[in-house]
Amino acid sequence: MKTILITGANRGLGYEFTRQYLESGNMVIATCRNPEKASALQALHTNYKDTLSILQLEVTSEEAITGTVDKAAQRSDTIDILINNAGVGHWDPLEGTTFDLMTDSYRINAVAPLLITRAFLPLLKKAERPLAAFITSLLGSIARREEMGMDSGSFCYNASKAALNMIGAMLALQLKEDGIIVLLQSPGWASTDMGGKEAANTPREVVTGMIEIFQNATLHDSGKFLQWTGEELPW
Ligand SMILES: NC(=O)c1ccc[n+]([C@@H]2O[C@H](COP(=O)([O-])OP(=O)(O)OC[C@H]3O[C@@H](n4cnc5c(N)ncnc54)[C@H](OP(=O)(O)O)[C@@H]3O)[C@@H](O)[C@H]2O)c1
């Protein structure tokens, strides 16, 4: 049994990661901003009382991050897999882009995953094969920008995910000697609140693909930018 900690676990891909990891017999620490309003997670808890913990975490609060590490340590000696999943999409065009929207995007999508991973290092280092996953996006690929075009994504979102990619790539270098595998993981385009109903794949499909990647990854893969199918993506 592994212990997996997931941010933004109340809906979308975070919820689906929680559901699938519980179903396969693992311990999950599911974090979200408002546990009392997280009805889907609470419903899951009735079936998985012993293996699901729901903790409050607003990812941009350093105080909340520290508190979550302490509470997680009371539930498990190790974190085997940390999934930095919480994210925000501000899709405003150039004209609507503001300091506040850009800053919010960077705080949630790029800076929070860095500081959360740093805070969980002591628990990750105790795991046999620790892995830190960063749920990024193909929209963060500078190499693919012409193919993606200006109709998908936004300055806020794409730039914050490109920043996340660099943060993950640097962490992969820094954490290699600790044996921590770092993956920049794209979920493709999945039908969540963010992805919309017309998305190409279901959360179930893409999460199954990503879990398989996490299961098979080795230190050799650390620092890779991967599609949910396993294809390596260009930066
Ligand atoms: N769906 C796609 O097609 C797609 C494609 C590429 C990348 N992604 C990435 O995949 C990840 C999950 O996306 P999704 O599609 O599941 O999106 P979603 O359905 O919109 O869910 C976003 C999750 O992030 C949480 N969150 C946002 N800001 C937060 C904060 N400040 N503190 C704590 N939690 C916060 C939300 O919590 P609340 O409910 O409290 O708002 C929610 O649980 C994101 O990083 C996203 O960028 C998704």
Tell me the average pLDDT across 117-130.
98
Whether residue 232 lies inside any domain: the answer is no
Please count the other Cβ atoms lying within 10 Å of the Cβ belonging to residue 100. Answer: 10
Is residue 149 domain-resident? yes
Q: Ligand 1 centre and the CA of 193: distance in Å?
A: 8
| Residue pointed to by tokens 């891909």 | 13
Specify if 122 maps to a domain: yes
Please indicate, yes or no, if residue 117 is contained in any of the structural domains.
Answer: yes
> What is the number of domains present in the chain?
1
> Which CATH number characterizes residue 164's domain?
3.40.50.720
Q: Are 192 and 204 in contact (CB under 8 A)?
A: no
| Ligand 1 center from residue 51 Cα (angstroms) | 23
Q: How much is the mean pLDDT over the chain? A: 97
Q: Is residue 22 part of a domain?
A: yes
Q: What is the pTM of this model?
A: 0.98
Q: Is 169:140 a contact under the CB 8 Å cutoff? A: no
Q: Is 59 in the pocket of ligand 1 (CB under 6 A)?
A: yes
**pLDDT class for 150, splitting at 50, 70, 90?**
confident
| Protein residue whose Cα sits closest to atom 47 of ligand 1 | 87
Centre of ligand 1 to C-alpha 212, Å, is 21
- Which residue, among 188, 78, 94, 108, has the nearest Cα to 141 in the 3D structure? 188
Q: Look at residue 72 and tell me if it is in a domain.
A: yes
What range does the domain containing 115 cover? 3-226
CA distances from 169 to 90, 92, 165, 166, 235 (A): 24, 28, 6, 5, 10
